[in-house]
Chain A
Amino acid sequence: MIQLQNATFTYPFHPAPAVQDVSLEVAKGEIVLLTGPSGCGKSTVVRMINGLGLHHFRGTLTGRVLVGGRPVDQQETSDISTQVGTLFQDPESQFFALDVCDEIAMGHEWRQVPPKETERRIRQAAKQFGLSHILDKSILTLSEGQKQKVALASIMSLGPQALILDEPTANLDPESTEALAQTLSELKAKGVAILIVDHRLYWLRHLADRVAVMDQGRIVAQGDFKIVDNAVLRRRYGLRKSHVVDPRPELLPPDPTIEHAIRLHNLSYSHGLHPIFEDANLTLPLGQVIGLLGPNGVGKTTLAMLLTGLHKAKKGRLIFNGKRIKPSELLCRSSVILQNTDHQLHMQTAWDEVAASLPRKQTGEKEKRVQNLLAKYNIAHLAQRHPQSLSGGEKQRLVIACGEAKNPDVLIMDEPSSGLDGANMRLIADCAQDFARRGACVLLISHDLELLNSACWYALTLPLKSSTLKEYSYDNNVFATEYHPRKDH
């Protein structure tokens, strides 16, 4: 169904090819996993297949890329899209309509599917991905995980003959990842050709027929899933683990009796008419890495925003080390790393970006501090590059370096390992633990089991249950969190 024969692709104004001499085939009823370190050319392979590389980016292709037996240079992108559904790494970048229902419907409407059939397919896709309750919501108000589900529902409802999924689980909770694996397994049985580009390997163990490992634009290893069980190969190419144990049942709950902590009492917040938190209480101890867990769209990012005053709570008291403070005061002591790094980079060079984040009082050894931070996050060689010209992973590390430069008491990271390879994921995990050792409270919002396993000591699971202060004690399980002591801590 999809064939690449000695394909080489060069972007306009780039001296060197992004992908070189790649040969890969995905047959009907087959699932192929394409993995490799960040920036190795995986997303370019996706663009070569769906026609965007040639027709949108206007790059140069040598060798042959065939979709449905026809070369992509003889087909328009819209023609290719009728055969191949593509899920982008950033799901928001593939939305055209403004609400969930319209987004799913749009492809059908342009393919002249009768209205009743379109309605049926919308309902079916919404049911399959758990979107029925948000069908009339604006796509811009959804959580990242919900956006990923909408993008998947939109593609799969069209019933394509082939699927290309770029990091399909980057924002999905583990349960949704399992459900996706089940769906893909069914599609595979129906004869759909599926190419999955992902850093996360564990969920594809029983799904992928073949694995191709890329590095520096070339395929360096190809075989069945067992090849990524090889620790030497994984280390050499910075891959993630091929087997991950779910750490969530073993993560400790934060101890509410601890003295040095951030406490939030009687938190109430509604989104429109829907209450997200009602009289909820929580404790976030300083000096610990706390995983903030819960299904997609439950309000994890919202909680981080409420803590730092970026959203205004209807009700609630914030206590920092026994002293009542305003959320905006906590924001001054915090570094918040949001999922979309583009919005957080303002300066002309990466160096300036970090330098601008240093506390104003810090004058001596400023240069050395910036240099050390850039080196710590493996971006010293990019010091003079414009921050917006960096790759996704590089931007992510730069924003975290800026966060560290501020020397905060609280570090909040929202899905920091999304789209990162194994080496960079471990760097983030080490950074989180390092912060905690220095006495900061690190709140890690993540569905990445590997990151949670490597970094977290404690976990808070949403949704929080309402409670009163009288009930607020460690023994009373007031947060409806699943409190299970973790054996290795």
Chain B
Amino acid sequence: MQASFASDSTMPKSFPTTLDVRTKLFLCVLCSLSAIILTSPLALSPLLAASALYALSTKNIKKVLTAYTVVLLMLSVSAVFIVLLDMIWPELAQMEFRLFLTPFLRIGLMLNVVLGLALTSRIQSLLMALKSLRLPSLIYIPASVMIRFIPTFFNDAKQVLQALKIRGYPLTLRTTLLRPLHSLRVLFAPLVFRALRSSDDLAMAAELKGIGLTGSIVPHRRQTLRPRDMMVLALALGLAAVSFFIQARCGGFSIGMH
């Protein structure tokens, strides 16, 4: 069964929905480790390109592009501040494109794999997979709630944008430039309150559903690792190896922001 929040019996199934949730979790872990270790934009690019294809193959193109837009917005805001900082205190801010780009490539990489997981996985399967790692409930329940929160947040954002149109505050480039503070307020005030309420609701729902009540879950539909999962895992490991090779050729390894 398809489990994406955008899932609908009328919508075509996507490739990531057919993958086992453990495969998707492995991709997240592999990419997060790569994001920590790889510092060169060139080394990050093969993984970034593959993960972008993976995210887009969920067929939730609008949501993926929305997430990219938010990341680009963050990039623009931080670029403005770095330029300002460079003007005021040149010793502190080094205006080097590579140093600036790497953190955002890492964000992009993680965004792709987390969206792939959140938009195409059954929440029960995710809970089971995390539980099978023998993680304490203090970790696997909040982790599942976080993943479950992503579709709710997209849904809230959609409804807030709809409400803005209804109230006559359309968020266009013109209105954003002419009244930036007003635009931020009308978008973020309801979104923040909804996000807080939704996270609280999810926590209550989890308690009332008895999540964490017993030692194990008895799933009514079991997922199994299939050849396509093995293929994806092999491809991911291969790409990671290529990225690490490029990193080694480009100047070695170090763990840090840049």
Tell me whether B190 and A346 are in contact (CB under 8 A). Answer: yes
Contact of A112 among B208, B212, B218 (CB under 8 A): B218
Tell me whether A272 and B11 are in contact (CB under 8 A). Answer: yes
A86 to chain B, nearest CB (A): 6
Tell me whether B155 and A96 are in contact (CB under 8 A). Answer: no
- Residue tally, chain A, CB below 8 Å to B: 65
Tell me whether A342 and B122 are in contact (CB under 8 A). Answer: no
Q: Does A102 contact B (CB under 8 A)?
A: yes
- Residue tally, chain B, CB below 8 Å to A: 57
Tell me whether B207 and A342 are in contact (CB under 8 A). Answer: no
In Å, the complex CA distance between A79 and B212 comes to 11
Residues of the A chain whose Cβ atoms lie less than 8 Å from the Cβ of B217: 109-110, 112
Tell me whether B167 and A357 are in contact (CB under 8 A). Answer: yes
A156 to chain B, nearest CB (A): 14
Tell me whether A50 and B208 are in contact (CB under 8 A). Answer: yes
Contact of B219 among A115, A140, A332 (CB under 8 A): A115
Q: Does A138 contact B (CB under 8 A)?
A: yes
Tell me whether B205 and A93 are in contact (CB under 8 A). Answer: yes
In Å, the complex CA distance between A52 and B206 comes to 12
Q: Does B7 contact A (CB under 8 A)?
A: yes
Tell me whether B185 and A347 are in contact (CB under 8 A). Answer: yes
Tell me whether A78 and B190 are in contact (CB under 8 A). Answer: no
Residues of the B chain whose Cβ atoms lie less than 8 Å from the Cβ of A335: 166
Tell me whether B166 and A338 are in contact (CB under 8 A). Answer: yes
In Å, the complex CA distance between A108 and B221 comes to 12
Tell me whether A101 and B1 are in contact (CB under 8 A). Answer: yes
One digit per residue, 1 when the CB lies within 8 angstroms of any chain A CB and 0 when it does not, for chain B 142-162 equals 000000100110011001101
Report which residue of B3, B206, B207 has the largest number of chain A beta carbons within 10 angstroms of its beta carbon: B207
Q: Does B25 contact A (CB under 8 A)?
A: no
In Å, the complex CA distance between A406 and B11 comes to 38
Contact of A138 among B7, B202, B203, B210 (CB under 8 A): B7
Q: Does B101 contact A (CB under 8 A)?
A: no
In Å, the complex CA distance between A119 and B219 comes to 10
Q: Does B211 contact A (CB under 8 A)?
A: yes
Q: Which residue of B lies closest to A402 (CB)?
A: B167
In Å, the complex CA distance between A112 and B124 comes to 13
B58 to chain A, nearest CB (A): 14
A314 to chain B, nearest CB (A): 14
Tell me whether A98 and B9 are in contact (CB under 8 A). Answer: no
Q: Does A245 contact B (CB under 8 A)?
A: no
Tell me whether B11 and A346 are in contact (CB under 8 A). Answer: no
Q: Does A378 contact B (CB under 8 A)?
A: no
Contact of A102 among B124, B168, B185 (CB under 8 A): B124
Q: Does A118 contact B (CB under 8 A)?
A: yes
In Å, the complex CA distance between A413 and B2 comes to 34
Tell me whether B211 and A110 are in contact (CB under 8 A). Answer: yes
Q: Does B186 contact A (CB under 8 A)?
A: yes
A18 to chain B, nearest CB (A): 17
Contact of A110 among B8, B210, B221 (CB under 8 A): B210
Q: Does A489 contact B (CB under 8 A)?
A: no
Q: Does A5 contact B (CB under 8 A)?
A: no
Tell me whether A98 and B123 are in contact (CB under 8 A). Answer: yes
Q: Does A468 contact B (CB under 8 A)?
A: no
Q: Does B174 contact A (CB under 8 A)?
A: no
In Å, the complex CA distance between A258 and B34 comes to 68
Q: Does A470 contact B (CB under 8 A)?
A: no
Q: Which residue of B lies closest to A84 (CB)?
A: B208
Contact of A272 among B10, B155, B189 (CB under 8 A): B10
In Å, the complex CA distance between A426 and B238 comes to 68
Residues of the B chain whose Cβ atoms lie less than 8 Å from the Cβ of A402: 167
Tell me whether B169 and A344 are in contact (CB under 8 A). Answer: no
Q: Does A181 contact B (CB under 8 A)?
A: no
Q: Does B220 contact A (CB under 8 A)?
A: yes
Q: Does B165 contact A (CB under 8 A)?
A: yes
Q: Which residue of B lies closest to A353 (CB)?
A: B167
Residues of the B chain whose Cβ atoms lie less than 8 Å from the Cβ of A342: 190, 193-194, 197
Q: Does A95 contact B (CB under 8 A)?
A: yes
In Å, the complex CA distance between A92 and B207 comes to 15
Given A86-B208, A98-B123, CB of A272 within 8 Å of CB of B156: no
One digit per residue, 1 when the CB lies within 8 angstroms of any chain B CB and 0 when it does not, for chain A 44-72 equals 00000011100110000000000000000
A333 to chain B, nearest CB (A): 11
Q: Does B4 contact A (CB under 8 A)?
A: yes
Report which residue of A90, A122, A388 has the largest number of chain B beta carbons within 10 angstroms of its beta carbon: A388
| Sample of 7 further A-B pairs with CB below 8 A, known A93-B201, A119-B220, A388-B189 | A101-B1, A105-B220, A111-B213, A272-B8, A336-B166, A338-B166, A343-B190
5 closest cross-chain pairs (CB), A and B: A272-B10, A93-B201, A118-B220, A343-B163, A346-B186
Could you write out 11 A-B pairs with CB less than 8 Å apart?
Answer: A78-B213, A102-B3, A105-B124, A115-B218, A115-B221, A138-B7, A138-B8, A271-B10, A272-B8, A272-B10, A357-B168
Give chain B's interface residues, CB within 8 Å of chain A.
1-11, 122-124, 148, 151-152, 155-156, 159-160, 162-169, 185-186, 189-190, 193-194, 197, 201-214, 216-222
